[in-house]
Structure 1
Amino acid sequence: MTIQLFSEETTQTRWRDRMRARRAILASSRLAKAKPERIERVIGKWASKYPVTDMETARTDRAAVCSVSERARSQEGCLLRSIAVARAAKYRRRSITWCSGFALEPFRGHAWVEVGGVPVSENVEIADYTKSLEVRARGDADVSAASGESAGAGLLEPDRMMEPPPAAPVRPRDLFGLAKDKRLLVVAALMALVGSGLTLLIPGFIAKFFSDGSFSLPSLGWIGVFLGVLLASGVAMVFQYYYLQKVGETIVRDARGKLSNHLLRLQIKEYDERSAGDLVSRVAADTSSLRTGFLQIFVACTTGFPLVIGTCALMLFLDPFLMGTALALIVGLGFVLFAVSRLIQGASLVAQQKLGSLTSQVQRDMGGIRTIRATNATDSEASMLEGRVEDAWQAGLKMAKVQSIVSPIANIGFQLSAIVVILVGAYRTSIGAMSISELVQFAALLFILVSPLGQMASALSQLHSSLGSLQRINEILDLPREDELDMANLLSPELLKTLEASAKPNAPAIEFDDVVFTYGTREFGQEMDDADSLVLHKLNLQVPEGKRVAIVGPSGAGKSTVLQLIERFYDVNRGAVRVFGKDIRDYSRSDLRDVLGYVEQDAPVLSGSLRENLTLGLGDVGDDRCMEALERVNLGYLATRSEQGLDGPVGESGASLSGGERQRLAIARALLSNKRILLFDEATANLDSHNERQIGDVLRNMAGNRTVLVVAHRLSTIMDADLIHVLEHGRLVASGTHSELVVKSQIYRNLASEQHLV
Structure 2
Amino acid sequence: MNYFKQILRFAKPYRIYALLNIISNIFYALFGTLAMVSLFPMLNVLFGKTEKLREKPEWTGLLDIREYSEAYLNYYVTTKADQGNDDVLIFMVILVVSMFFLKNIFGYLAMYFITFLRNGSLKDIRNELYKKTVELPLSYFSEKRKGDTMARISTDVLEIQHSFLSILELIVREPLSILFAITAMLLISPKLTLFVFIFIPVSGFLISLIGKRLKKHSDKVQKEQGFFLSIVEETLGGLKVVKGFNAEKIFGKKFQDSTSRFYKYSNALLNRQNLASPTSEFLGITTISVLLWYGGQMVLVEKSLEPSLFLIYMGLAYQILTPAKAISKASYGVKRGNSAAERVLEILNTTSPLKDKPDAIEKNDFNNDITLENISFKYEDEYVLNDFFLKVPKGSSVALVGQSGSGKSTIANLVTRFYDVNKGSIKIDGTDIKDLKKESLRGLMGLVTQDSILFNDTIKNNLLVGNENATDEEIIDALKVANAWEFVKDLSKGLDTNIGDSGSKLSGGQKQRLSIARAVLKNPPIMILDEATSALDTESERLVQSALENMMKNRTSIVIAHRLSTIQNSDLIVVMQKGKIVEQGRHDELIAKNGVYQKLVNMQSLD
TM-score by length of 2: 0.88
Distance 1:557 1:481 in 2: 27
351-360 or 744-753: which moved more?
744-753
Q: Which residue is 1:563 aligned to?
A: 412
Distance 2:397 2:298 in 1: 100
Distance 1:367 1:699 in 2: 28
Q: Which residue is 1:444 aligned to?
A: 315
- 1:212 deviation in Å? 6.8
Q: Write the deviation string for residues 376-403 of structure 1: whole angstroms up to 9, x where unpaired.
A: 1111011111112122222212211321
Which of the numbers 115, 118, 123 marks the counterpart of 1:245? 115
Check conservation: 1:170, 1:467, Cα contact below 8 A: no
Is 1:608 the counterpart of 2:457 in the alignment? yes
Is 1:354 the counterpart of 2:242 in the alignment? no
SS of the residue aligned with 1:342? Answer: coil
Rate the CA distance shift 1:751–1:329 in 2: closer, same or farther, 3 A: same
Distance 1:338 1:379 in 2: 44
Check conservation: 1:175, 1:470, Cα contact below 8 A: yes
SS of the residue aligned with 1:546? Answer: coil
Is 1:689 the counterpart of 2:509 in the alignment? no
- 1:355 deviation in Å? 0.9
Q: Which residue is 1:746 aligned to?
A: 595
- Paired residue type of 2:33: L
- Paired residue type of 1:452: P
Distance 1:648 1:289 in 2: 38
Q: Which residue is 1:314 aligned to?
A: 184
Is 1:435 the counterpart of 2:306 in the alignment? yes
Is 1:721 the counterpart of 2:570 in the alignment? yes
Which of the numbers 98, 104, 116 marks the counterpart of 1:234? 104
Q: Which residue is 2:330 aligned to?
A: 459
- 1:490 deviation in Å? 3.1
426-435 or 338-347: which moved more?
338-347
- Paired residue type of 1:733: V
Check conservation: 1:265, 1:482, Cα contact below 8 A: no
Is 1:425 the counterpart of 2:298 in the alignment? no
Rate the CA distance shift 1:700–1:173 in 2: closer, same or farther, 3 A: closer
Q: Which residue is 2:4 aligned to?
A: 172
Q: Which residue is 1:596 aligned to?
A: 445
Q: Write the deviation string for residues 19-40 of structure 1: whole angstroms up to 9, x where unpaired.
A: xxxxxxxxxxxxxxxxxxxxxx
Check conservation: 2:192, 2:295, Cα contact below 8 A: yes
- 1:254 deviation in Å? 0.9
| 5+ residue gaps, structure 2 | 50-84
Distance 1:656 1:310 in 2: 66
Check conservation: 1:596, 1:676, Cα contact below 8 A: yes
- 1:644 deviation in Å? 3.4
1:640-679 matches, cutoff 5 A? 640-679=489-528
Distance 1:364 1:299 in 2: 40
Rate the CA distance shift 1:356–1:341 in 2: closer, same or farther, 3 A: same
Distance 1:748 1:190 in 2: 79
- 1:598 deviation in Å? 0.9
SS of the residue aligned with 1:407? Answer: helix
- 1:455 deviation in Å? 1.1
Is 1:634 the counterpart of 2:466 in the alignment? no
Distance 2:465 2:353 in 1: 20
Is 1:385 the counterpart of 2:255 in the alignment? yes
Which of the numbers 238, 262, 278 marks the counterpart of 2:132? 262
467-476 or 723-732: which moved more?
467-476
Rate the CA distance shift 1:723–1:389 in 2: closer, same or farther, 3 A: same
- Paired residue type of 1:177: R
- Paired residue type of 1:170: N
Q: Which residue is 2:373 aligned to?
A: 513
Check conservation: 1:604, 1:653, Cα contact below 8 A: yes
SS of the residue aligned with 1:756? Answer: helix
Distance 1:206 1:577 in 2: 82
Distance 1:638 1:423 in 2: 89
- 1:609 deviation in Å? 1.4
CA RMSD, 1 decimal: 2.4
Q: Which residue is 1:574 aligned to?
A: 423
Distance 2:481 2:359 in 1: 42
Which of the numbers 15, 29, 32 marks the counterpart of 1:199? 32
- Paired residue type of 1:454: K
Larger Rg, first or second structure (1 or 2): 2
- Paired residue type of 1:190: I
Q: Write the deviation string for residues 429-451 of structure 1: whole angstroms up to 9, x where unpaired.
A: 22223121121011010111111
SS of the residue aligned with 2:417? Answer: coil
Q: Write the deviation string for residues 248-303 of structure 1: whole angstroms up to 9, x where unpaired.
A: 11111111111111111112211213221111111111221222224531232222
Q: Write the deviation string for residues 510-560 of structure 1: whole angstroms up to 9, x where unpaired.
A: 22221110012xxxxxxxxxxx70100111222232122211101100010
Distance 1:330 1:721 in 2: 82
SS of the residue aligned with 1:179? Answer: helix
Distance 1:629 1:214 in 2: 91
Distance 2:602 2:469 in 1: 47
- 1:341 deviation in Å? 2.4
Specify which structure has the higher proportion of helix: 2
SS of the residue aligned with 1:618? Answer: coil
| 5+ residue gaps, structure 1 | 1-168, 521-531
Rate the CA distance shift 1:757–1:546 in 2: closer, same or farther, 3 A: farther
Q: Which residue is 1:302 aligned to?
A: 172
Is 1:472 the counterpart of 2:321 in the alignment? no
474-483 or 548-557: which moved more?
474-483
TM-score by length of 1: 0.71
SS of the residue aligned with 2:135? Answer: coil
Distance 1:417 1:708 in 2: 81
Check conservation: 1:608, 1:650, Cα contact below 8 A: yes
- 1:359 deviation in Å? 1.2
- Paired residue type of 1:615: L
- 1:425 deviation in Å? 1.0
Which of the numbers 155, 160, 163 marks the counterpart of 1:290? 160
Check conservation: 1:189, 1:240, Cα contact below 8 A: yes
Check conservation: 1:330, 1:417, Cα contact below 8 A: no
237-246 or 174-183: which moved more?
174-183
- 1:176 deviation in Å? 3.6
Distance 1:460 1:189 in 2: 20
SS of the residue aligned with 2:454? Answer: coil
Rate the CA distance shift 1:465–1:641 in 2: closer, same or farther, 3 A: farther
- 1:719 deviation in Å? 2.0
Q: Write the deviation string for residues 161-197 of structure 1: whole angstroms up to 9, x where unpaired.
A: xxxxxxxx73434444331222211111111111211
Q: Which residue is 1:42 aligned to?
A: none
Which of the numbers 545, 550, 557 marks the counterpart of 1:708? 557
- 1:321 deviation in Å? 1.7
Which of the numbers 259, 275, 278 marks the counterpart of 1:405? 275
- 1:704 deviation in Å? 5.7
Which of the numbers 340, 361, 367 marks the counterpart of 2:237? 367
Q: Which residue is 2:91 aligned to?
A: 221
- 1:701 deviation in Å? 4.7
Q: Which residue is 2:15 aligned to?
A: 182
Q: Which residue is 2:53 aligned to?
A: none
- Paired residue type of 1:737: R
1:532-547 matches, cutoff 5 A? 533-547=382-396
Q: Which residue is 1:19 aligned to?
A: none
Q: Which residue is 2:143 aligned to?
A: 273
- 1:585 deviation in Å? 1.8
Check conservation: 1:558, 1:730, Cα contact below 8 A: yes
